[in-house]
Amino acid sequence: MEFLTQPYMMAFWFGALTAASLPLGAMLGIWLKPSTKIVAALMAFGAGNLLSALTLELIEPSFIHTGFWPISIGCVLGGMVFVLLNQLLDKMGGYMRKASTLVSHIKAKKRSEMQDMIEKLSQVDILRSLPPQEIHHIAPSVADRSFKKGDIIFRQGDVGTRLYLIESGTVKIERKGNGDKEVTISELGPGETFGEMALLWKEPRTATVTAASDVLLLEIHRDDFEKILKASPSLRADVEKLADQRKKGLAAAAVLSPEEWKREAIQRLHEEDTRPSSVEMEQALKEGHAGGGAALSMWLGIFLDGIPESLVIGASMIGKAVSPALVGGLFFANLPEAMSSGAMMKKQGKSTSSIFWMWMSLCVMTGVGALLGNILFVGLSPSIHSLFGGLAAGAMLAMIAQTMLPEAYEHGGWLVGILTVFGFLSALMFRAIGHAMSAAEHHGSLIQSLLQTLGA
């Protein structure tokens, strides 16, 4: 029994206690299926609680004992390490562990795909004659088409309804000559376009286009183009102006080079909200679930979130009692994250038992981390202690900024601000309770000593 009360074992028990909210939260998320607003409210409260606990119980004592540099260098390094490892695990499938990391992954993927598409569209003269700030409306409507060698893409005289951009392969442009015999007038290859007048008006095609080899094309349909014009009066005005110029035989009014046009279009893309739809979220979950190693990556991602807090718990108990503010802050911060992640994993088709044991293993690992932190940090100089404490604090601050607060605000709106404040104050209240208990214990020991003296 004495073994169980050793300082490092007490660190283990308190580390496991802070992470006990992980399996608890996951099960609550699965059974109660709380609304996103409720989860967001709890997440905001937990983030405020953890921010306060970090400031009061970790950063402030280190700052008082060793000054600015050790704790600040540790914070910067901890934040950088967390961000880099987080990105690495997200690429392996760890992004599925939380709604916020899933949304971030989809946004980055959409921006990358849109950026590639804009680069291709910048080669189309007729599109480059339009404002680059509006092209992001067109890019999502571009479709892939493939044709086998010898396939006719369209015939001379057909009504034009599509613009094509060649991705790979070549096409042959033929026009009827004397005696209605098809005469090849040119061949087009990758990066070149044909049929662009179809976006401006519905008129008969002036030539027949045939696949000279297997060919992959990007296609913009006039109907999709028209829908975009209806939603953007300014773009419609520019297209009508361009059509009028072309009818008069004037050159397109492209005043920007492909590189300049692409740069301005991408700049506008980065300013736009690329929030994923529910369909895109479901598709990303299916794709991630089908990928090998996704489950392990998710576990490692969640473990990455918990490493700093476990070390902090163990280190904070060296030579003193555990901080109620720090334990409470970590417990409340873990609860809503686990609720959100548990519900997310259930949507992926994972069984309730596998989800429970995944989170329970992390609870045990957090306890082990606290035990190691209590052992490894013993005997370190105050500066080194502050440096490692800063590493943990920086990692947790990065985690709060990247995953907790963005997800909370996305679903909770204005309520998040006030709940974060209440969470911050709750950790302060825990600290006040801890000080009161310590004072009472000290006061009680004085009274006991006095009574013993009087009794003697």
* Annotated domain spans of the chain: 3-93+291-412, 120-271
Q: Sheet of 152-154: strands edge to edge?
A: 152-154, 208-211, 171-176, 182-188
**Is pLDDT at 293 greater than 60 in this prediction?**
no
What are the pLDDT digits (tens) for 119-141? 888 877 777 777 777 777 777 88
- pLDDT bin (cut points 50, 70, 90) of residue 219 is very high
**Counting beta carbons within 10 angstroms of the beta carbon of residue 144, is it exposed (0 to 12), middle (13 to 18) or buried (19 or more)?**
exposed
Question: Which of 69-73, 132-136, 289-293 shows the lowest per-residue confidence on average (mean pLDDT)?
Answer: 289-293
pTM to 2 decimal places: 0.70
Q: How far apart are CA 164 and CA 172, in angstroms?
A: 13
Residue at token pair 């829908």: 227
Q: Could you tell me what percentage of the chain is helix, strand and coil, using 3-state DSSP and rounding each to the nearest 5?
A: 70, 10, 20
Q: How far apart are CA 321 and CA 277, in angstroms?
A: 48
**203 within 8 A of 160, measured Cβ to Cβ:** yes
3-state secondary structure of 207: coil
Q: Would you state the pLDDT for residue 444?
A: 62
Q: What is the average pLDDT across 324-341?
A: 83
What are the pLDDT digits (tens) for 27-53? 999 998 888 889 889 999 989 988 988
Q: How far apart are CA 397 and CA 51, in angstroms?
A: 7
**Is pLDDT at 80 greater than 90 in this prediction?**
yes
**Is pLDDT at 72 greater than 60 in this prediction?**
yes
Q: Would you state the pLDDT for residue 456?
A: 47
Q: Is 120-271 a CATH 3.40.50.720 domain?
A: no
- pLDDT higher for 447 or 170? 170
**Is pLDDT at 247 greater than 70 in this prediction?**
no
Q: Would you state the pLDDT for residue 378?
A: 81
Residue at token pair 């609550």: 28
Average pLDDT, the chain: 81
Structure tokens at 162: 């599509």
Structure tokens at 161: 């309804």
Q: Would you state the pLDDT for residue 254?
A: 53
3-state secondary structure of 163: strand
Q: How many CB atoms lie within 10 A of CB 359?
A: 25
Q: What is the average pLDDT across 98-126?
A: 81
Q: What is the average pLDDT across 362-384?
A: 88
- pLDDT higher for 89 or 287? 89
Question: Which of 236-250, 257-271, 388-402 shows the lowest per-residue confidence on average (mean pLDDT)?
Answer: 236-250
DSSP characters over 283-296: HHHHHHHHSTTHHH
Q: How far apart are CA 130 and CA 174, in angstroms?
A: 29
3-state secondary structure of 432: helix
**Counting beta carbons within 10 angstroms of the beta carbon of residue 352, is it exposed (0 to 12), middle (13 to 18) or buried (19 or more)?**
middle
